[in-house]
Each structure stands twice: as structure tokens, then as C-alpha cells.
Amino acid sequence: MTLHIGIAPASYVKKRMIEIARGGKPLRGEPRVWVSSLDSLAKVLTEKNMLLLEMIRSSQPQSLGELARLSDRKLPNLSRTLHTMERLGIVALQEKPNGRKVPTVLCTKVQFVLNFASPGSEAA
């Protein structure tokens, strides 16, 4: 699956979401996930975190504790990173009946959409 991430100023995203909430339709191919800058996205998609995603895919850990041991990362930092990735739609953290959270990678590709236009001024 390919995740489409939009990169635009927060003011654009806010105006666009208000338009949609008022009944406007999302534009064809418009991302559902937005960040305000490439810098903020680069902090999540570091080489270390890309290796973490591959580790999740290949090892299929059954808890965050297991992933922390496999990746040699401290659990609080790992948890924070995965929750950020979950908000972006990169991973899912499924809570099991025993309270454990199992990480799953949701996408294998990320496509970026840079938007410099004001809402309503875009060409379809």
C-alpha cells in the first residue's frame, strides 16, 4: 500500500479541512494525512526509523517490549516513535486482550504531495 502524505502550511490544511467539513469534497488524489514541513516528516522517517519499520515487517514482534529488545531501543522512546508513525498512518498498534500492543507496518511506500496553492485556487 502507498501512503500519500501532504506537505503544506498549517493554515492551508486548516482551511482545507474546514471546507471538507462544510460539505466540500476531497480533491482526487488529495492526501488524508498532512504535515506542515519536510523537516517534521524527516524527523520521523530517519534511517534508524526506516530500519525499525523493516524490523517490524520481517520479525513481526508480538509486543512493543519484544520490539524494544530486538531493536535495542528504550521502550518509552520506541513507543513515542511508533505513536507518531501511527498518527501518520505508517504503522498500526493493535491492542491485544492481554494489554500488549502489537506493531504492524501499514504501507510499503510513501508518496509526498507538496501544496503551495491556497484552498479553492487549485486546478483539479
Residues 25-45: tens digit of each pLDDT = 888 888 888 888 889 889 999
Distance CA 80, CA 78 (A): 5
How close are the terminal C-alpha atoms of the chain, in Å? Answer: 24
* Residue 11: pLDDT over 90: no
**When comparing pLDDT for 1 and 75, which is higher?**
75
State the pairing for strand pair 33-35/2-7: parallel
Q: Grid coordinates representing 88?
A: 501518520
**Bridge partners for 7 per DSSP:** 35, 114
Distance CA 13, CA 11 (A): 6
Domain boundaries, the chain: 2-114
Q: Is 31 exposed, middle or buried (0-12, 13-18, 19+ CB in 10 A)?
A: buried
* Residue 114: pLDDT over 50: yes
* Residue 118: pLDDT over 90: no
Instruction: Tell me which H or E stretch contains 20.
Output: helix 10-21
**When comparing pLDDT for 73 and 115, which is higher?**
73
Instruction: Tell me which H or E stretch contains 10.
Output: helix 10-21
Average pLDDT, rounded, for the chain: 89
Which range has the top average pLDDT, 4-8, 26-30, 39-43, 85-89?
85-89
Whether CATH 1.10.10.10 fits 2-114: yes
